[in-house]
Amino acid sequence: MAAVTVPTHIGLSGRKALLARLLAFEAREQNAPNSDGDAPDRVVSEMIDSGNRAIANGILSEPLDDWLRDSVKRVRAITEASWGSQVGTPADVMLQALARRAGGLSCKVCSGDRVCRGNSRDHSVVASGGHCIKHIADVFSNATTIAEAYYRRYARGFVGPPKLALFTSEVAAKPHDIPIPIYLGGETRYEDDKGGPVSAVELRVAIRLLDWQSWLAVLYLFLHELVCHAYAGTAPPHRGRRELRSFDPFAEGWMDRICGMILEDVANAVPPVPKAIHIPFRAEHIDAGNQFRLQRQSPRRDNGGTAWSVVQSVRASKHMFRAIQALVQEPRRAREAMYRVSLDLNLLERPVMARSQIICVVERGLAGPHTELYGMMIRSLNQYLNGGTRHNCSRNFPTRKELFFS
């Protein structure tokens, strides 16, 4: 299987529109968050309209930096034509902030002689550090740092992170079936080669529908893709992760609940979240991420079929956590033990069916304390927590066939 070479990215016109939106949203939130005037809203809407026109007109060869500066000047002219001079007003402060951001962007500095012109050569320029997707790349970098910190701290099977490749793409509609108006989606593909695991993480953006609340969900979305999928099955021996390429209830439910716990740690700056990590609008990112995450269990998904498997998986993870809390009564140590068990299980390269069987067995075995299986699982879990291998908490679970045919 060939490794990913050059990741592909949103086209030039889409990147113009996306950057215009994100800069406008940030200018409003940072400089006029409580303003009720029409002018600040007009600044945002005109920047959005400028980006939408770029998409509607197709591929434009005008460099992104020139286009952005022209757009900001045009928005100021439109705003002042409607409301007169805006000097000293919240709209003026927003426009000054936009002008500074646009003035600090240089396609030549970003790419040297290879200024993007809307052709296939752009992909390598953007992938090597394109300033136009810096918002996305910065969040991805933060999520990558956080995910690796947790696997490195807690997973005994961790031998190193997979190679990661960031892709971006533009879509016309909401790119997921979760019943919440969040116009971002993610997908992780496995492109493993002889050198080891390679995880390609793609951010899908419905640019024309993207709002501020959607953007704020991006940190959680990247954490989900990395913690739940990109690291899955990366413990040796590497076999290409061929049997992890379908819908995975263990990842979507159990491991997503681990993402929720990590989000709590990020909110409270609890180790192993690095102290030096900088997350603009941290509280807002956490809130949006939690709203998105909880809707994964909505019965409105896929006529309830997808939701049911996610709910069952989450329920199993709660049973596991209660069992751990009975064995490790100090709250923080119990939380860390839950990380250890979950991250180690996720690292094992097991087929989706085997991962689903873990859910079934944990749910049946740990739901009540008065069965033979409960005692066996508690002993296995206790052995693992006291120095055994990660197999102690997984090897026996799927072998009890009577659980599935009773």
Provide the token pair at 149: 């910190």
Would you state the pLDDT for residue 346? 95
Q: 184 phi and psi, to 5 degrees? A: -130, 150
Q: What is the mean pLDDT of residues 269-296?
A: 95
Query: What letter would DSSP give residue 391?
Result: G
Helix or strand or coil: residue 116? coil
Q: 201 phi and psi, to 5 degrees? A: -105, 120
Does the structure show a pLDDT above 50 at 400? no
| Residue-wise pLDDT tens digits, 32-85 | 887 767 888 999 999 999 999 998 887 567 899 999 999 999 999 998 888 777
Number of Cα atoms under 13 Å in the Cβ half of residue 52 = 11
Please tell me the distance from the alpha carbon of residue 232 to that of residue 251, in angstroms, as a whole number.
8
Cβ proximity of 356 and 249 under 8 Å: yes
Q: Range with the lowest mean pLDDT among 2-6, 10-14, 225-229, 286-290? A: 2-6
Cβ proximity of 289 and 266 under 8 Å: no
Q: Is 62 exposed, middle or buried (0-12, 13-18, 19+ CB in 10 A)?
A: middle
Helix (H) or strand (E) holding 324: helix 305-327
Residues 6+ apart with CB under 8 A from 72: 47, 95, 98, 99, 102
CA triple 296-28-130, angle to 5 deg: 70
Residue 237, CA distances (Å) to 117, 232, 343, 363 in order: 44, 13, 17, 28
Please tell me the distance from the alpha carbon of residue 9 to that of residue 6, in angstroms, as a whole number.
10
Please tell me the distance from the alpha carbon of residue 319 to that of residue 333, in angstroms, as a whole number.
17
User: What strands lie across the sheet with 184-190, from one edge to the other?
Assistant: 163-170, 198-205, 184-190
Would you state the pLDDT for residue 66? 93
Please tell me the distance from the alpha carbon of residue 96 to that of residue 102, in angstroms, as a whole number.
10
Please tell me the distance from the alpha carbon of residue 194 to that of residue 199, in angstroms, as a whole number.
14
Query: What ranges make up the beta strands (E) of 254-299?
Result: none
On average, the pLDDT of the chain sits at: 89
Q: Which of 360, 382, 362 is nearest to 374 (CA)?
A: 362
User: Model confidence at 227, in pLDDT bands (50, 70, 90)?
Assistant: very high
| Residue-wise pLDDT tens digits, 154-213 | 999 999 999 999 999 999 999 999 999 999 999 999 999 988 999 999 999 999 999 999
Please tell me the distance from the alpha carbon of residue 30 to that of residue 219, in angstroms, as a whole number.
19
